[in-house]
Structures are given as structure tokens and as C-alpha cells.
Amino acid sequence: MRAYYFDNQPGDQRLPHDSSRAVDTETLNGLKVEAWNIPLTEGYEEKLNAVARERAYKNRDVITISKEGLGDQYEEKIKGFYEEHIHEDEEIRYILAGGGFFDVRQASTDTWIRIAVSAGDLLVVPAGIYHRFTVDEGNMAQAVRLFKDEPKWKAIYRGAESDANPHRIDYLKSVAAAA
């Protein structure tokens, strides 16, 4: 996993868009974003299960984002994942194969931080943070999605509704308190 400021240059969302300005773990932690690597070696399932128990994740599924799997819906789906939004639950992903980019908004500056993920990376994006996702140029990502309750994925796209959402307000309070 590698984090850096997004370069804001036009071009395919699947490109690295690397500004060459690295973002350290302390900055991510200040945003309540957590990330670590659990190598896909023997025993990784038990390590992932331990994280799930510790964080009270009760359910999981596996999602594969690829041209082969999504067919004609592929381009539409990746554009939808890339639209800026929040969730009312943490978004936790453990990458099994392929790779992509999670972009998160730095609350204090409204700038994008890009987090490049690949196999073995585990990322926790807090409820209420503006973010988006895209696969990388390999056009495939497979991930375990972990959920506290029933599996759901409801995006609340950026606007008046998301800005007034209690999860967004709580998130902003939590990062202000940490500053």
C-alpha cells in the first residue's frame, strides 16, 4: 500500500495520478483511515478472521471487478464507484488479487489522497469520509468486503444530503478532535 496526493491532472481514472508527494501513516491515521498488509500466504485467513473478530465484523463477501465478470456494465460500474460519496458504515476491503486506488478527501484541505492497493492490502475507510474507488490499469480487483451487519453497499453521493448526514457530521467532529 502506498499513499500520496492525487495530481488532479486530466486523464483516465485508472492511471496512478501520482503527484510525487507522499502521504505518511500519521496523516492517514489523522483521517481515521487504517491500512495494513496481510500477505496472501498460508494462514492469512486466520489473520483476517482475527481482524474481523476484533472489529466486530459479522459478515463478508467477495467482489470481483473485471471486464470479464461485469461484461457490458464494467465501464458504468467503475465510473459509479469513482463518483465521490460517503457510507454510513466503515468500508473495509482486503485485496485478494489485482489492484486499484482508493481516493479519500482530506477534511481540512478538501484535497484528494490516493491510496494504491494490491493483493494483501487491508484498508478501513471510516463512515462519513468522502471517498471513491477505481481499479488500476490491470482492470481487475478482487476483494473481501467485511461488514458489521448484513452486507450492504449504499453510497450517498456528495451534496446537501451527504453534508447533513449524521455520519458525516460525526466523522468531521472525530477528525477535528484528533487535530
Please check if 87 is assigned to a binding site.
yes
Question: 74: which residues sit within 8 A by CB, 6+ positions away?
Answer: 65, 66, 67, 139
- Of 34, 30, 152, give the one whose Cα is nearest residue 94: 34
Any known ligand binding at 131?
yes
What is the full DSSP assignment across 1-15? -EEEEE---SS-TTS
Q: Which residues contact 131 (CB under 8 A, 6 or more apart)?
A: 84, 85, 86, 91, 102, 103, 104, 105, 125
Is 85 annotated among the ligand-binding residues? yes
Q: How far apart are CA 102 and CA 121, in angstroms?
A: 12
Residue positions forming the annotated binding site for Ni(2+): 85, 87, 91, 131
Residue positions forming the annotated binding site for Fe(2+): 85, 87, 91, 131
Residue positions forming the annotated binding site: 85, 87, 91, 131
